[in-house]
Amino acid sequence: MAIVITVPQDAACVLFAGVPEKRDYFSTVKNSAPIAPTEVGENGTVYCFEGLAEGLYHCCVSKEGYNSLCQVINHTGSTRLTLTLDKLAGGGFEAGYVMRYTPEFMENQLLSHKDAWGEEYAKLFCTPQFLPGRPGRHQQTTNEEMVNFIEKLAAGNPHMHIFSLGSSPKYGYDMPLVLFTRESVAGLTLAQAAEVLRRNGKPTVQYNAQCHSSEPASTEGALAMMVSLCGEFSRVLEQVDVYIIPRINLDGAVEAIRKSPTTGDDMNRDYLYMHNAEVRMVVSAYNLFRPEVCIDGHEKFHRFNATGEDICTDMEVQTGAGALNHPAEMTEMVMQMALEAMQKARTLGLRSHFYGKLASAAGGAAGSSYFGTRNSLSFLVETPGQVNMGMLCMERRVLAHYVLASSVIRYTAEHSAQLMATVHASRNFMQKSNQIYDEKKLFVLEHERTVTGSLVNPLIHVPTGRVVEETMPSTTPSRPRPFSPAPVPPPTCSLPAWRRRMKFSVWRPAMPSTITAWAQVPWHW
């Protein structure tokens, strides 16, 4: 009952029982005590661990100048593994270690290669991270590569316009906003271009990515959408305008971390408070364009429980549906759009599910909820990956982002008149009648997990790739809802002035502090 692991010369190999359940995402994998090898081969290339019971293990292999590797092992008797390492690029934009799963999990759950979905999609995988010959195989697209890629695309396209939202606070990277429109906006400022679009009678889609900069496939998906909007898909621009902010957390991307390296904040919990310059830039663009539709790209890390099970799905969709001020028509439309995208994903063999929204979740402070609260048809999409998945299944992850965004944009184009009417009726409704407290209007304060038809999240046993259980959170409406929580600031009103007018106060409590807080989620879906 031995595990024998062959590693590159001079690499260290450390074995642990169980799956890496308590891990630090971005530096080292934290574990219980390591299992001592019974024998180590010459130059440390073969590690032999004897007398091990069947079950789950994982090993960490490391060598100076290379991505460390965390490999999950399903030990069912005699296990022999040969592991290779990839070189670090240096210069940032990459995690210290990458994950690898069992072959069974890869085969059953994560099939991914360029040609798996046909030519229509294969041509999308040309964004910087896919390019051969980059110095580090697992380095995410750098900010320079992203800008060069966008500029090259725009050079040949009269309908693609690059604007700047400002500079990132720590490293001073420019935050690009890329506008696709048939209107002539060349030479206009962003505010002038936005005004043209607000008056042209077409719906506008805002598509932003990588608020969490450890989630690289979301940016690659946004860049793939730019490629598509320069090709055949540009026909949607007859009915819709699209602007893309491909990377919000430019500074965090350098350090391959989730949060802002300037404030330490999770910026996707900052939309109501706007402490962070990057969030203010995105909201300022939103205030100019007032887009009818918003898409926010994210990725999730695999979170194993102790027996190696994990919610595993290729596309999880959360909507801003049912924000407190949404009329039912808005909720119906946003749900229809989400369902169409999820069905499209399933035709490509991608498992798509609703991303359950819990009463304990961030509520209106997260981007998709915030834009939902401001009566946009709003979507958040998650794919299974993080910067320390490296290039693992990258095509599959990017495809899921692209399918969600292209499906939502296509729906917006095909139903543009109805969609405009629904969103604008909702905004009027919000301003006129929905700010009245009503005991009968309930919102959710409690939730539990349950099985409900097709709206499920599958729990997968990672070593075997087997589906264990399918669940999703269910909610119980339990409290009258308060007034509309996010009044719309007019574009002419500065943020401090708006806060004063709405009697909002913003402060940072001393840490640690105990405060009473509440969150709210819709019950009608």
How many chain residues are in contact with Zn ion, going by CB under 5 A? 3
* Token pair recorded at residue 500: 């004063």
Are the CB atoms for 271 and 380 separated by under 8 Å?
Answer: no
Cα 264–chain centre separation: 19
Measured CA to CA in angstroms, residue 133 lies from 129, 136, 219 at distances of 10, 8, 20
Binding mask 214-253 for Zn ion (x = CB under 5 A): -x--------------------------------------
Segment lying near Zn ion (by CB under 5 A), choices 133-141, 164-172, 204-212, 287-295: 204-212
Query: Which of these segments, 95-103, 274-282, 293-301, 337-345, binds Zn ion (CB under 5 A)?
Result: 293-301
CB of 365 to Zn ion, least distance (A): 13
The least distance separating Zn ion from the CB of residue 258, rounded to whole angstroms, comes to 7
CB of 361 to Zn ion, least distance (A): 12
Q: Is 212 in the site for Zn ion (CB under 5 A)?
A: yes
Closer by beta carbon to Zn ion, 216 or else 308: 216
For residues 469 and 100, give the distance between their C-alpha atoms in angstroms, rounded to a whole number. 23
* Comparison of 217 and 229: residue with beta carbon closer to Zn ion: 217
Q: Closest approach of Cβ 298 to Zn ion, in Å?
A: 3
For residues 375 and 427, is the Cβ–Cβ distance under 8 A? Answer: yes
CB of 380 to Zn ion, least distance (A): 8
Q: In the window 21-80, what residues touch Zn ion (CB under 5 A)?
A: none
The smaller minimum CB distance to Zn ion, of residues 25 and 504, is found at 25
What stretches of 156-298 show up as alpha helix (H) in DSSP? Answer: 190-198, 216-229, 250-255, 277-289
The residue whose two tokens read 């075997």 is 464
Q: Closest CB to Zn ion among 248 and 391?
A: 248
Q: Is 298 in the site for Zn ion (CB under 5 A)?
A: yes
Amino acid identity of 276? N
Torsion sign, CA atoms 187, 236, 246, 485: positive
Q: Which region, judged by CB under 5 A, interacts with Zn ion, from 101-109, 205-213, 243-251, 474-482?
A: 205-213
Distance CA 177, CA 283 (A): 12
Nearer to Zn ion, 193 or 272 (CB): 272
* Stretch in the footprint of Zn ion (CB under 5 A) among 161-169, 210-218, 234-242, 275-283: 210-218
Nearest one of 359, 330, 354 to 447, comparing CA atoms: 359
Contact window for Zn ion (CB under 5 A) among 26-34, 139-147, 180-188, 290-298: 290-298
Residues 6+ apart with CB under 8 A from 397: 112, 217, 220, 221, 299, 314, 383, 384, 385, 389
302 binds Zn ion (CB under 5 A): no
Is residue 389 helix, strand or coil?
helix
Binding of Zn ion by 269 (CB under 5 A): no
Q: Which helix (H) or strand (E) holds 431?
A: helix 416-432
Least Å distance, CB 367 to Zn ion, is: 9
Give residues in contact with Zn ion (CB under 5 A): 212, 215, 298
